[in-house]
Amino acid sequence: MQVIILPTPKDVALYAANRVVEVVTKNTNPVLGLATGSTPIALYNELVSRHRAGEFSFQNTKTFNLDEYIGIAESHPQSYRTFMNRHLFDLVDIDLSNTYVPLADSLDPDVLARNAECYESEILWTGGVDLQILGIGVNGHIGFNEPTSSFASRTRIKTLSKSTVEANKRFFAEGEFQPHLAITMGIGTILSSKSIVLMATGKGKAQAVKDMIEGPLTSMCPASVLQQHEKAIVILDEEAASLLA
- Sheet with strand 232-237: strands edge to edge: 2-6, 232-237, 196-200, 131-134, 31-34, 62-65, 99-100
Asked if residue 149 binds ligand F6R (CB under 6 A), the reply is no
CB 69 within 8 A of CB 78: yes
- Minimum CB distance to ligand F6R, residue 40 (Å): 7
| Residue-wise DSSP of 31-85 | EEEE--SSTTHHHHHHHHHHHHTTS---TT-EEEESEEESSS-TTSTTSHHHHHH
Whichever of 36 and 189 has its CB closer to ligand F6R, that residue is 36
Within 118-147, which residues bind ligand F6R (CB under 6 A)?
135-137, 141-144
Q: Please tell me the count of residues contacting ligand F6R according to CB under 6 A.
A: 14
Asked if residue 67 binds ligand F6R (CB under 6 A), the reply is yes
Whichever of 60 and 122 has its CB closer to ligand F6R, that residue is 122
Residue number with the shortest CB distance to ligand F6R?
Answer: 135
Asked if residue 33 binds ligand F6R (CB under 6 A), the reply is no
Asked if residue 38 binds ligand F6R (CB under 6 A), the reply is yes
- Minimum CB distance to ligand F6R, residue 159 (Å): 15
SS3 190: helix
Pairwise CA distance, residues 54 & 128, whole Å: 27
- Minimum CB distance to ligand F6R, residue 53 (Å): 26
The residues, any chain, with a CB within 8 Å of residue 103's CB and separated by 6 or more, are: 68, 74, 115, 119, 183
Figure out which of the listed residues 12, 35, 116, 197 binds ligand F6R, where binding follows CB under 6 A: 35
Asked if residue 8 binds ligand F6R (CB under 6 A), the reply is no
Pairwise CA distance, residues 194 & 211, whole Å: 23
DSSP secondary-structure letter at 28? Answer: S
**Torsion sign, CA atoms 171, 142, 100, 59:** positive
Asked if residue 39 binds ligand F6R (CB under 6 A), the reply is yes
Asked if residue 153 binds ligand F6R (CB under 6 A), the reply is no
What is the identity of the amino acid at 200?
A
- Minimum CB distance to ligand F6R, residue 186 (Å): 12
Asked if residue 17 binds ligand F6R (CB under 6 A), the reply is no
Asked if residue 186 binds ligand F6R (CB under 6 A), the reply is no
Whichever of 56 and 188 has its CB closer to ligand F6R, that residue is 188
Residue 88's nearest CA partner among 121, 65, 67 is 65
Where in the sequence numbering do the catalytic residues fall?
Answer: 67, 139, 141, 146
Whichever of 12 and 94 has its CB closer to ligand F6R, that residue is 12
CB 29 within 8 A of CB 62: yes
Interface contacts to ligand F6R, rule CB under 6 A: 35-39, 66-67, 135-137, 141-144
